[in-house]
Amino acid sequence: MTTHEMPRGMVRAATTQGTTEGYMPGFGNDFETEALPGALPQGQNSPQRINYGLYAEQLSGTAFTANPPERTWCYRIRPSVKHAGRFAKIDVPHWKSAPNIVPDVISLGQYRWDPVPHSDQPLTWITGMRTVTTAGDVHTQVGMASHIYLVTRSMEDEYFFSADSELLVVPQEGRLRFATELGIIDLAPQEIAILPRGLVYRVELLDGPARGFVCENYGEKFKMPGRGPIGANCLANPRDFKCPVAAFEDREVRSRIVIKWCGEFHETFTEQSPLDVVAWHGNYCPYKYDLRTYSPVGAILFDHPDPSIFTVLTAPSAHEGTANIDFVLFRDRWMVAENTFRPPWYHKNVMSELMGNIHGVYDAKPQGFVPGGVSLHNMMLPHGPDRNAFEHGSTEPMVPVRQTETMQFMFETRFPQQLTEWAAREMPIQDDYVDCWQSLEKKFDGTPGEK
């Protein structure tokens, strides 16, 4: 299927001025969109009867009284209660939720993994999800989980929603289509998508097998970080977030809906596609973002700032400035600081840092952290440049250098991350990772002067 082909039978809103080919720009906007003319009621949410015989339904992503409240009004062929009833538990063994403490697995440590090889098994978005770490508690809606997905099959007449979490998707190889209740998102490496809690969707492969990373956010939703003295511009700009226009299917076919709820998986069946929202308006919706539109701000004279300067999105916790999750991007950029050790400094951090490599070379780890690979520097565990990066960083000429062809990210959380059994035993762990610091030399010889 090409990017422009629609899934079977899907009717999408005509793009209007201000939209970019099936998407509407802006972060947290109050959007409105209709796939059939006149389907969206004007001036009120719940008229006695709705055009085309549609049903009105509200999807609330925050408490009714939150400030600001986030909700979307959907005008659909059937209310979703007709789609989802009579649930049965099913087993999705590799998708774990916090708390998931494996007694004989040691999560305390610095870990790194090679890319998980693509599979020749038929794996969908649901069966291909592999949890790497969990943190916090899904039941009290704090913390997160990190996952790797390996997708080799499109979902067919099968749909999913997570009542537990919002999903941040970071593709690394292969393109995916998210056909959602609120419209279609096509996603390629170097882009990200956010799928809100409660939204029903189907995931299709657009080409090849797909692999990528997911951050499952149990807590408050991702938002743009406060930019403080940076002001109104740079970092991620609101207009670069894109929300899909309405698209619907009118397909009467037996369909399976899988629901993640309190860490458990359930199935229910319906006789029609649940993607039957013809029009909607509101501020609770899925969106995508092209990481290449991120404008990094950094040191332009000396020293190395905290990586919070590279935050794309932040999911707050109850403690101001202490994120449940920060999503941080290390992209290509100029390094210009004078008289400065330019790679990341050595450090210990109360927050735990899970990193993934989308492509290219990461400056603190010129070897070993390869595209598709993952590293974890858990709560308060020391880490920093390996020996090669240290030697290079402390001797390189202080001329402007462009770090090119590089893109890594970090899921940083205030909670310690617990390894799953799969991450500890099946994912290709690099047993010798911690040795990358052992060859750092003692330079101190008791005499002053630079060594």
Ligand X SMILES: O=C(O)Cc1cc(O)ccc1O
Positions touching ligand X (CB under 6 A) are 307, 344, 347, 349, 353, 364, 377, 383, 410
Go through 236-262 and write b for each residue having 16 or more CB atoms within 10 A of its CB, e for each that does not: bbeebbbbbbbbbbebeeebbbbbbee
Q: Between residues 52 and 302, which has the closer beta carbon with respect to ligand X?
A: 302
Least distance between ligand X and beta carbon 410 (Å): 6
DSSP 304: -
Q: Return d(Cα 377, Cα 348) in angstroms, integer.
A: 9
DSSP 115: P
Q: Between residues 5 and 306, which has the closer beta carbon with respect to ligand X?
A: 306
Out of Fe ion, ligand X, none, what residue 223 binds, judged by CB under 5 to 8 A for its kind, is none
Active site residue 304: yes
Q: Between residues 85 and 305, which has the closer beta carbon with respect to ligand X?
A: 305
Q: How many CB atoms lie within 10 A of CB 396?
A: 13
CB-based closest residue to Fe ion:
353
Flag whether 5 is marked binding.
no
Flag whether 353 is marked binding.
yes
Least distance between ligand X and beta carbon 335 (Å): 11
Provide the binding-site residues for Fe ion, judged by CB under 5 A.
Answer: 353
Flag whether 347 is marked binding.
yes
Q: Between residues 32 and 114, which has the closer beta carbon with respect to ligand X?
A: 114
Out of ligand X, Fe ion, none, what residue 364 binds, judged by CB under 5 to 8 A for its kind, is ligand X
Q: Which two tokens stand for residue 278?
A: 């013809």
Residue with tokens 């709820």: 261
Dump the DSSP string for 168-186: EEEEEES-EEEEETTEEEE
Q: Return d(Cα 185, Cα 193) in angstroms, integer.
A: 8
Flag whether 377 is marked binding.
no
3-class secondary structure, 392 = helix
Least distance between Fe ion and beta carbon 78 (Å): 49
Dump the DSSP string for 407-446: EEEEEEESS--EEPHHHHHTS-B-TTGGGGGTTPPP---S
3-class secondary structure, 63 = coil
Least distance between ligand X and beta carbon 368 (Å): 13
CB-based closest residue to ligand X:
344
Which one of the listed residues 304, 319, 359, 377 is annotated catalytic? 304
Least distance between Fe ion and beta carbon 349 (Å): 6
Q: Between residues 276 and 353, which has the closer beta carbon with respect to ligand X?
A: 353
3-class secondary structure, 197 = coil
Residue numbers in the known binding site are 347, 353, 362, 383
Residue list for the binding site for homogentisate? 362, 383
Residues with active-site annotation: 304
Binding-site positions for Fe cation? 347, 353, 383
